[in-house]
Amino acid sequence: MSEPLISIVAPLYNERESFPHLVARLNALMDSSPLSIEVVLIDDGSRDNTAQLMQQLALADERYHCVFLARNYGHQIALTAGMAAAKGTEALFIIDGDLQDPPELLTEFYAKFKEGYDVVYAVRKKRKEGFFKKTAYFLFYRFMKSISYVDIPLDSGDFSLISRRVANVLNQMPEESRFIRGMRSWIGFKQIGVEYERDARVAGEAKYTFKMLRRLAYNGIFNFSEFPIKFVTNMGMLSIGIAVLYFIQTLIKKYFFGGVPQGFTALLFTIILFGGIQLIGLGLIGEYVLRIFFQSKGRPLYIVREIIRKKERQS
C-alpha cells in the first residue's frame, strides 16, 4: 500500500461505546470513496478498553494507523500527535471520535480543497447539545472574535480538512498550550467554511469536562489576543483616574465648603476595590509567566508508547 492521499485523524479517549459505530462509518466511507485513505486513530491514555479495540483493528486492517500515547495529554495534544503521524500526501481530515462530526462530509470538504482552498473548516449552524454547553460556546466564540488579533471563524472547531502544507506548518509550531483552531487561522492561506449540523454523541457520555473547556478557552484567549494584559493596563489607568478625581473632590470640599469628607466605610471599600484589581492583575501576569515557564522547559509535547502501522507494531 503506497502512501495515502488523505489521512483521517481522530483522537480517542474512553470511546469504547462509540468505537464500533466509528469504525463502521469509516469503513463505509473508505469502501465507497475512490480516494486512497488511511485512518489515524490516537489513544489519549484511555482508561477503558479503547486501546485494546484499536490494537485489534490496526493489526487486522492496514488502512488503520494507531498511535498510543503514554498518558492522557488532552484533546489538542492528541490531535497534534495524530497530525504528526499522518502520511496523507494531499490533505488531513480532522474529526472527533464521538461522531458528532460526520465523516461523510469528507467528499464535500475534498471538493472545496480541489477548488484551491488549503483549509476547509466546518461551521456549526446547529448543534444537538445541552443548553448550557451551547450557550457557553456561543458566548465564547463571539467574545474570542471581538478580542483576537487573528480572524478565528465563528462557531468553528477543529473539524476541518487541511492541506499537507498547512499540516506541515502546524507540526512545526512548538506551542505547549495549543489552540489548534486559532493556530490554523494564524497560518493563513486560502480558507473557506462549510456549514453543517453537529450531531449528538452516537454513544457514551461527553469526555470534555467544564475544566477542559475552561482550559481550552484560556489557551485561546492568552495565545491569540492581547486582551488580558491590556485589561490590566486599562484597570490600572482607571484606578489612577478614580484616585485623581477623588483627590480633586476632596480639595474642592476642603477649600470651598470647609472640611474634609469623613467615612471609614468609603475608605475600606476603596482599599478592597483596588486590592482586588491588583490581585486580578497579578493573576493575569502570573498566567503569562506560567506559560513561559512551561514552554521554556523544552519538554516534548507528548510521548508515544506504541504505534501500529500497516499491521506492524513499533515501540
Of 233, 80, 166, 204, residue with least CA distance to 67: 80
Does residue 247 sit in the same domain as residue 192? no
Does 1 fall in a domain? no
258 Ramachandran zone, left/alpha/beta (phi>0; psi -120 to 50): left
Does 52 fall in a domain? yes
Cβ contact 215:179 at 8 Å? no
The band of 265, judged by pLDDT with boundaries at 50, 70 and 90, is low
Does residue 248 sit in the same domain as residue 116? no
Q: Where are the alpha helices (DSSP H) in the chain?
A: 19-32, 50-60, 75-85, 106-114, 131-147, 164-172, 180-187, 210-223, 227-256, 264-296
Does residue 215 sit in the same domain as residue 245? no
- pTM for the whole thing? 0.77
Q: What is the mean pLDDT of residues 188-212?
A: 76
Supply the pLDDT for residue 268: 66
Q: CA-to-CA distance for 169 and 79, rounded, in angstroms?
A: 14
Does residue 167 sit in the same domain as residue 250? no
Q: What is the phi/psi pair of residue 193, to 5°?
A: -100, 150
The band of 315, judged by pLDDT with boundaries at 50, 70 and 90, is low
> Residues 210, 214, 217, CA angle at the centre, nearest 5°?
140
- In this structure, what DSSP letter does residue 46 have? -
Provide the mean pLDDT of the chain: 83
Does residue 217 sit in the same domain as residue 232? no
> Residues 126, 130, 134, CA angle at the centre, nearest 5°?
50
Does residue 128 sit in the same domain as residue 238? no
Does 198 fall in a domain? yes
Does 151 fall in a domain? yes
Does residue 213 sit in the same domain as residue 93? yes
**What is the tally of structural domains in the chain?**
2
CA distances from 52 to 47, 58, 111 (A): 11, 10, 35
Does residue 40 sit in the same domain as residue 107? yes
Q: In this predicted model, what pLDDT tens digit does every residue of 39-70 receive, in sequence order?
A: 999 999 889 899 999 999 989 888 999 999 99
Cβ–Cβ contacts within 10 Å for residue 220, how many? 22
Supply the pLDDT for residue 206: 65
Judge residue 91's burial from the number of C-beta atoms within 10 Å of its C-beta, 0-12 exposed, 13-18 middle, 19 or more buried: buried
Does 12 fall in a domain? yes
Does residue 173 sit in the same domain as residue 217? yes
CA distances from 154 to 55, 150, 269 (A): 37, 12, 40
Does 252 fall in a domain? yes
Does residue 245 sit in the same domain as residue 110? no
Does residue 239 sit in the same domain as residue 217? no
Does 185 fall in a domain? yes
Can you tell me which residue has the cell 459505530?
21
The band of 312, judged by pLDDT with boundaries at 50, 70 and 90, is confident
Does residue 16 sit in the same domain as residue 144? yes
Which CATH number covers residue 214?
A: 3.90.550.10
Does 78 fall in a domain? yes
Can you tell me which residue has the cell 476642603?
254
Q: Which residue range forms the structural domain that includes residue 282?
A: 227-296
Among 8-17, 48-57, 78-87, 264-273, the least confident range? 264-273
